[in-house]
Amino acid sequence: MNTPLATLAAVLSVLALYLPTRTQTFTRVTVDGRSIRMLVAGRGEATVVFENGLGGPLELWGKVQPDVSRFARTVSYDRAGAGLSDDGPLPRDGRRIAAELRAALRIAGIAPPYVLVGASLGGPYVRIFAGMFPDDVEGMVLVDPTPDRGQVDEGLRTRDVEAAVAAGFRELESLPDTLDQSRASRVPNRIPVLLIDAVSPIEVPFATEAIRTMRMNNRPEIEAESLEYREWLATIPGSRLIVTNRSGHNVAQEQPELVIDTIRQAVKETR
Binding site for another protein (CB under 8 A): 1-2, 4-6, 8-9, 12-13, 15-17, 19-20, 22-24, 26, 37, 56-60, 62-63, 78, 83-84, 201, 204-208, 210-211, 246-248, 250, 253-254
| CB of 58 vs another protein, minimal distance in Å | 7
Instruction: For residue 197, give the nearest of 124, 246, 152 by alpha carbon.
Output: 246
* Closer residue to another protein, CB minimum distance, 37 or 264: 37
Dist. CA 207–CA 29, nearest whole Å = 45
For 178, the 3-state DSSP assignment is helix
Torsion over CA: 145, 150, 156, 161 (sign): positive
* Closer residue to another protein, CB minimum distance, 21 or 189: 21
* Closer residue to another protein, CB minimum distance, 16 or 234: 16
| CB of 64 vs another protein, minimal distance in Å | 10
Q: Is the peptide bond before 188 cis (omega within 30 degrees of 0)?
A: no
Instruction: For residue 263, give the nearest of 250, 252, 253 by alpha carbon.
Output: 252
| CB of 152 vs another protein, minimal distance in Å | 26
Going by the DSSP 8-state scheme, the letter that residue 46 receives in this structure is: S
* Closer residue to another protein, CB minimum distance, 226 or 253: 253
| CB of 192 vs another protein, minimal distance in Å | 27
Say which residues have a Cβ less than 8 Å from residue 196's Cβ, sequence separation at least 6: 141, 142, 143, 144, 242, 244, 251, 258, 259, 262
Instruction: For residue 111, give the nearest of 93, 137, 90 by alpha carbon.
Output: 137
* Closer residue to another protein, CB minimum distance, 69 or 270: 69
| CB of 1 vs another protein, minimal distance in Å | 5
| CB of 95 vs another protein, minimal distance in Å | 26
* Closer residue to another protein, CB minimum distance, 74 or 247: 247
H-helix or E-strand spanning residue 50: strand 47-51
- Supply angle C-alpha 171, 236, 264, rounded to 5: 75
Q: Which residues pair with 244 in a beta bridge?
A: 198
| CB of 74 vs another protein, minimal distance in Å | 15
* Closer residue to another protein, CB minimum distance, 37 or 127: 37
